[in-house]
Amino acid sequence: MLVHKLSLIILMLLLCHLGVDAKRTVTCEGGSAHLSCDFGFVRVIKANYGRTDRTTCISGRPANQINNVHCFRKSSLSTVSARCNGIKSCSVPAVNSVFSDPCLGTYKFLDITYDCIPSKRSVTCENTQSVIVCGSGVILVHYANYGRRDLSTCPHKLAKTPHCYSPQTSSLRSRCNGRKTCSLSASNSLYSDPCPGVNKYLEVTYSCFCIEMKRYFTCEGGSVQLGCDWGYIKVVTANYGRTDRTTCSSGRLAEELSNVHCFHETSVQMMANRCDGRKSCSVPAVDSVFSDPCAGTYKYLDVSYLCLPVSIEMKRYFTCEGGSVQLGCDWGYIKVVTANYGRTDRTTCSSGRLAEELSNVHCFHETSVQMMANRCDGRKSCSVPAVDSVFSDPCAGTYKYLDVSYLCLPVKGGATNAYEKP
């Protein structure tokens, strides 16, 4: 299948902010922020203890206490995450003793954005062991902490403080991600002792993860229905147009089917705007939604998407012809989702190039995905040269680039495919 241009934002933004019921709380200095989830567990997206405007928390304050609107505490996110990630509810005091003072003389506020992620929670009391198990799929760790964040979990005479934090997310991801079962042991010998004299526990929030690539068509005039039984929609490719003569051809004249190079370049972004981060969506395949990319051609809407938990990151990299693209995963293994060695716009890799080298914006190399997958899937890192000798030349005379999007998955393997066509 031809690969269409994606407008992807590197996943911190993609999956953190695309409509997954994000919540925001603002607390004036001296108060306490309260985060809670009716379902799932807290995942802090961003936080700042400081001041970024002159309108929030200003009642009764003199001008000199609200003038500094560039007051940031860089460690705010890690401080709030340590107290709140992976639990149902938490309180965080907006005070200097918790965050330290980022701007003396300024009256500050604590601004937190968070969401609630559906996941499971495991607690292992100090000096005991437990096992987490996924009957379907494999383990994907969201957050882990060795310490104590309340007095009621693992009750003990040495449960002296609810403020003992030692995040262990990276360690547990390395140990458990991609497995069906994972043994956990809560001990100072494994994690060191974050608070001597306090009885601790290891808490882990995780999901049982399976990934499925789904593809749906609908003929012009119909509507495409996307949905996820679990997780949230992430549109990967989309085109409102026509790329073959057989799809949606019943009862149509030959001239309505002859243009098989009909692409709507903003289809991905338009589908993403309507569907990304949702459990389900319905999008009409009509000119009034997408505009008409090829008058007189009978079109169809072709969409591929994934159902992703919020902690999976989609990455996108490109390199100009003659360079090399470098893919890598800090954890997990590479799974190439889209790739194209060619050209789909006039601006990418255009510096110093003649107009005729940039004019063909319908230059696709149809086997780019498979070639990238052969070199990179299931690896921790890979490097692929963007040259004709690797891919062959899909459009002579055009200056090309290699554009790749990929995921870091907890298992060595690919997404399964679900394909439905009217």
Question: In this structure, what token pair is assigned to residue 239?
Answer: 């085109």
CA distance 145 to 122: 11
pLDDT of 4: 32
How does pLDDT run across 312-340, given as a tens digit for each residue?
A: 767 889 999 999 999 998 777 888 888 88
pTM: 0.61
CA distance 215 to 220: 16
Residue that is last in its domain, among 89, 117, 145 = 117
Q: Is residue 7 part of a domain?
A: no
The structure tokens 């405007």 sit at 53
Q: Which of 334, 330, 314 is nearest to 12 (CA)?
A: 314
Look over the chain and give the mean of its residue pLDDT values, rounded to a whole number: 87
Q: Which residues pair with 315 in a beta bridge?
A: 406
Here the CATH number for the domain that contains residue 96 is: 2.60.120.740
Q: What is the mean pLDDT of residues 221-226?
A: 95
Please determine, for residue 163, whether its predicted confidence score (pLDDT) is greater than 50: yes
In this structure, the answer to whether residues 223 and 307 fall within a common structural domain is yes
Q: Is residue 419 part of a domain?
A: no
Q: Is residue 297 part of a domain?
A: yes
In this structure, the answer to whether residues 398 and 328 fall within a common structural domain is yes
In this structure, the answer to whether residues 343 and 297 fall within a common structural domain is no
Residue 369 has a CB neighbour count (10 Å cut-off) of 18
Q: Is residue 333 part of a domain?
A: yes
pLDDT of 11: 34
Strand order in the sheet with 23-28: 23-28, 109-117, 41-50
CA distance 20 to 48: 21
Residue that is last in its domain, among 312, 328, 354 = 312
Please determine, for residue 412, whether its predicted confidence score (pLDDT) is greater than 90: no
Question: In this structure, what token pair is assigned to residue 34?
Answer: 């309260």
In this structure, the answer to whether residues 104 and 67 fall within a common structural domain is yes
Number of domains in the chain: 4
In this structure, the answer to whether residues 135 and 148 fall within a common structural domain is yes
Domain coverage including residue 274: 211-312
Under 8 Å between Cβ of 315 and 322: no
Q: Is residue 85 part of a domain?
A: yes
The band of 198, judged by pLDDT with boundaries at 50, 70 and 90, is very high
Q: What is the DSSP string of 150-210?
A: -SSSS--TT---S-B--B-HHHHHHHHTT-SEEEEE--HHHH--SSTTS--EEEEEEEEE-
